[in-house]
């Protein structure tokens, strides 16, 4: 049985001995991956607003709105103090202090109107993995000891052999430390988190 098939089987199953069903390759936060966990439960330990008088906070200067457009998936780091997201134009991170949020980092990427991180995750090493049309990238803090240091791209894997109008539409973390991606043509592939292994796209 090849690695591609094994990863797909592992992605669909987990040991019953793991009582909390936590993916060990994800950040140990309250929301490390799209849909909360590798089970896609969408079950959050946090409640929503408890009053119709809840305050809204403007996170950014209106002149910089282009930096934060359409952040579909917002993910928390292991300490639950920062969230990362991908917008139409780049990657950004925000510090969360109680009821206050402060933008602490932004990195320009490109302008992507098709797919810019709707499905993403933060690994147990606090690397933010997200995808573009034909690649998967890992982003992290330039200074690992400073969560508010510059955002840098620490790894990148280009997906080869896609058709002219084909692009990625999904990315998830498996239970064996790999990533599974899918394209708008229904093609599926597996890539290891260190990008040393990449399956054929089938």
* pLDDT of res. 19: 44
User: Is residue 5 helix, strand or coil?
Assistant: helix
Residue range 168-182: average pLDDT? Answer: 92
* pLDDT of res. 2: 66
pTM of the predicted protein model: 0.83
Residue range 104-115: average pLDDT? Answer: 87
* pLDDT of res. 20: 59
Mean pLDDT of the chain: 84
Torsion of CA 194, 197, 199, 201, to 10 degrees: 40
Q: Decide if 123 contacts 173 (C-beta within 8 A).
A: yes
Torsion of CA 38, 39, 40, 42, to 10 degrees: -110
Q: Where are the domains of the chain?
A: 25-40+60-170
Least confident among 33-37, 158-162, 173-177: 33-37
């Amino acid at each position: 049985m090849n690695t591609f098939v094994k990863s797909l089987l592992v992605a669909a199953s987990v040991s019953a001995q793991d009582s909390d069903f936590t993916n060990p390759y994800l950040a140990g936060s309250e929301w490390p991956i799209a849909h909360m966990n590798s089970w896609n439960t969408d079950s959050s330990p946090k409640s929503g607003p408890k009053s119709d008088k809840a305050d809204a906070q403007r996170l950014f200067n209106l002149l910089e709105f282009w930096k934060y457009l359409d952040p579909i998936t917002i993910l928390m780091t292991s300490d639950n103090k920062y969230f990362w997201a991908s917008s139409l134009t780049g990657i950004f991170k925000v510090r969360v202090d109680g009821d206050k949020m402060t933008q602490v980092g932004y990195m320009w990427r490109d302008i992507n109107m098709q797919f810019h991180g709707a499905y993403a995750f933060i690994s147990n090493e606090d690397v933010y993995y997200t995808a573009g049309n034909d690649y998967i990238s890992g982003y992290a803090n330039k200074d690992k000891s400073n969560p508010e240091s510059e955002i840098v791209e620490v790894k990148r894997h280009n997906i080869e052999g896609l058709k002219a109008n084909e692009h990625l539409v999904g990315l998830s973390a498996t239970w064996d430390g790999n990533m599974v991606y899918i394209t708008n043509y229904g093609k599926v592939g597996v890539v290891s988190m260190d990008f040393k292994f990449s399956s054929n796209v089938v």
